[in-house]
Amino acid sequence: MIERIIVFDIDATLILSGGAGARALDRAFEEVTGAADAMEGVPFHGMTDCAIISEMAKRKLGARLSETNREEVRRLYAAYLEPELAASPGFEVMAGVPELLDTLAADSRVLLGLATGNFEETAMLKLERGGLAGYFRFGGYGTDSESRPELTRIAVERGRAIAGDGAGVTAPLVYLVGDTVFDIRCGNAAGARTVGVATGITSEAELLAEKPYAVLPDLADKNRFYEILELDGAPPG
Ligand SMILES: [Mg+2]
């Protein structure tokens, strides 16, 4: 029986793309609009991909993109991301993440999912590059909504639908793990127990100010993570 649903953010929580995402998006945006280096100065941390593209257009063109151009940027972004990820010297899987996900995936009480501002197809490219794509059974993506609170709510709803918190069964607790204040705010709003990880640009103190359920320096301590899950018994394996 599933007792815990755990929803993970991707960028700076599970992996760092080493700038591959920004480079691929810049290339895609330039090809469609002619404007170079449009990612420059965009505060992309915690933003959805749709919102990032809107911000690039606003800053560089002073206008909104047509629906056709938006779709073309999205398509080219995905096409350029794979080679950019493959060639990115700064690509990194965060400390302890493969071990933690291995353990959680082997625990039948746990269901793993994603809540990310990435488009679904580019989220998968990033996870595949890190060897992490097989762990997650559902997600809420930037393709579901431009709004992070909304895609987080959708992710939690999908997790609950799979876990089946129906009649006679104790509803599983939902946890959300992320590195920015936006993850914590959206997770709190979606009724999740939020876990901030200070592996991005946000400090433990800044994460704590959003009143998360817990804050960790990183995901390297599997036993500490299990303490926060408050499951009876030790992690498997
Ligand atoms: Mg993140």
Q: Where are the domains of the chain?
A: 4-16+92-229, 20-87
Centre of ligand 1 from the C-alpha of residue 170, in Å: 31
| 65/2 Cα distance (integer angstroms) | 43
Model confidence, pTM:
0.95
Q: Ligand 1 is a single-atom ion; what residues have CB below 5 A from it?
A: 9, 11-12, 179
Average pLDDT value for the chain: 95
Beta carbons within 10 angstroms of residue 167's beta carbon? 5
93 CA distance to ligand 1 centroid (A)?
13
Confidence (pLDDT) at 169? 64
Q: What residues pair up with 177 in beta bridges, in sequence order?
A: 8, 195
Give me ligand 1 centre to Cα 202, in Å: 10
Distance from Cα 187 to the centre of ligand 1, integer Å: 13
Residue 198 alpha carbon to ligand 1 centre in Å: 10
- Per DSSP, the three-state class of 221 is coil
Contact criterion met (CB below 8 Å) for 146 and 140: no
- CA 8–ligand 1 middle distance (angstroms): 9
The one-digit pLDDT tens for each residue of the chain (237 residues) are 899 999 999 999 999 999 999 999 999 999 999 999 999 999 988 899 999 999 999 999 999 999 999 999 999 999 999 999 999 999 999 999 999 999 999 999 999 999 999 999 999 999 999 999 999 999 999 999 999 999 999 999 999 999 985 555 678 999 999 999 999 999 999 999 999 999 999 999 999 999 999 999 999 999 999 999 999 776 776
Q: Which of 221, 211, 198 is nearest to 9 (CA)?
A: 198
Distance from residue 167's CA to the centre of ligand 1 (Å): 35
Query: How far is the C-alpha of 38 from the C-alpha of 7, rounded, in Å?
Result: 31
DSSP labels for 148-217?
A: HHHHHHHHHHHHHHHHT--TTSPPPEEEEEESSHHHHHHHHHTT-EEEEETTSSS-HHHHHTT--SEEES
Phi, psi of 36 (to 5 degrees): -90, 160
Residue pair 194/176 in contact by the 8 Å Cβ criterion: yes
What is the Å distance from ligand 1's center to 168 Cα?
Answer: 36
Residues 155, 14, 203, 51: what is their CA dihedral angle, to the nearest 10 degrees?
Answer: -50
**Number of other residues whose CB lies within 10 A of the CB of residue 164:** 12
Instruction: Tell how far the Cα of 147 is from the centroid of ligand 1, in angstroms.
Output: 15
Is 7 strand, coil or helix?
Answer: strand
Tens digit of each residue's pLDDT (9 = 90 or more) over 200-236: 999 999 999 999 999 999 999 999 999 999 997 767 7
CA of 16 to the centre of ligand 1 (A): 9
Please tell me the distance from the alpha carbon of residue 87 to that of residue 84, in angstroms, as a whole number.
Answer: 5
Query: What's the 153 CA to ligand 1 centre distance in angstroms?
Result: 17
The three-class DSSP label of residue 74 is helix
Angle between helices 20-33 and 67-87 (to 10 degrees): 140
The fold adopted by the segment(s) 4-16+92-229 is Rossmann fold (3.40.50)
